[in-house]
Structure 1
Amino acid sequence: MRQAQAGDTVHVHYKGTLTDGQLFDSSEGREPLSFQLGSGMVIKGFDDGVTGMEVGDKKTVHIPNVEAYGPVNEEMVIQFPITQIPADIPLEIGGTLNMHQDGNGQVIQVVIKEVTDEFVILDANHPLAGQDLIFELELVDIK
């Protein structure tokens, strides 16, 4: 059988969990994930895990955070003056806000980590940064 390789469009069913078993994403009940291998459309460890599989193959891959969403970057945790946040926006720890980056119009989602009288501590890291991931993969099709 043909093995999946860079440049192929693959269709994959998956279940993603953290090392403690907590489910964070799954294709169950949905169409399989379709992407081009080697194109950077998915995290490196996922891409590498599918490479070499044949249609019908199933396997589990353990992806260290450096091949997933990277380690937590402390430079992406910022103190933002509370006076610059509109009063009608709820500031609950664990809640999210959308921030506009200056100049390019890009919006990034940040998580509220702490609220003080003067500052809101915001984390712009990907929610899975610093996490090692486990994916159960099933290659459904290669195009």
Structure 2
Amino acid sequence: MKIQPNAVVGITYELHTTNEEGQQVFVEKADSEQPLVFLYGVGMMLPKFEEHLAGLQEGDTYSFELSAADGYGELDPGAYADLPVDMFKEVELPNVGDVIPLQDNNGNQFRAGVTGVTEEIVSVDLNHPMAGKNLIFSGEILKVREATQDELNHGHAHGVDGHSGH
């Protein structure tokens, strides 16, 4: 079966970006022991990522690069905030480099990278950690199968074999 909308796909992948010198930097991977499994075509993955996998089948390998714009977007210079230290009175004050959970006024949860800490302010970067970076993917298609009706109803895959509970 070829990768198409409403197929469950299991893949291995390695993700790299490039540093300022143009050298590839390893970010993360999924291997055959713990593959990435997702329901294709329902918005779970980056659209351009899915576009590159369309039509592939079990055993095929892939390698492609997504521009920052097609990945997590360009860095937004306005996506920085200074938070009062009082916000952290019930938890340990974060350190520069930490990634902290935050919540907006609508209850949406997200993460921010701490860029500075003073006696009064915790400065955070609200950009996605991969914003502004090209994403270089390579891997293999391990499994492609039709989604079960339960998976379609739930909008996500239930594991490589379709029987993983939740």
Q: 1:69 aligns with which of 67, 72, 86?
A: 72
- Please list, as runs of the form range in 1=range in 2, the aligned pairs for 1:1-143 lying within 5 A after superposition: 2-19=1-18, 20-28=23-31, 30-86=33-89, 89-104=92-107, 106-143=108-145
Per the TM alignment, residue 117 of structure 1 is displaced from its structure 2 partner at its CA by: 4.1
Work out the CA distance in 2 between the residues paired with 1:137 and 1:112: 32
Q: By how many angstroms is 1:84 displaced?
A: 3.6
**Structure 1 residue 70, shift from structure 2 partner:** 1.1
Aligned equivalents of 1:8 and 1:65: distance in 2? 27
8 Å Cα contact 1:50/1:137 also seen in 2: no
Kept after mapping to 1: 8 A contact 2:100/2:112: yes
**Cα deviations across residues 94-124 of structure 1 (Å, max 9, x unaligned)?**
01222222242x3222110122344221112
What SS does the corresponding residue of 1:136 show, helix, strand or coil? strand
Query: Which stretches in structure 1 are left out of the alignment for 5+ residues?
Result: none
Q: What 5-or-longer segments of structure 2 have no aligned partner?
A: 146-166
Question: 4+ runs of 1 displaced by more than 6 Å?
Answer: none
Counterpart of 2:78 in 1: which secondary structure? helix
Could you tell me how far apart the structure 2 residues matched to 1:15 and 1:30 are? 14
Against the structure 1 CA distance between its residues 130 and 79, is the aligned structure 2 distance closer, same or farther, given a 3 Å change threshold?
A: same
Percent of residue pairs bearing the same amino acid type: 23
C-alpha displacement of 1:29: 5.7
Deviation by residue 1:117-141 (Cα, 9 ceiling, x = unmatched): 4422111221111110101121112
CA contact (8 A) 2:58 2:142 kept: yes
Give the total of aligned pairs: 141
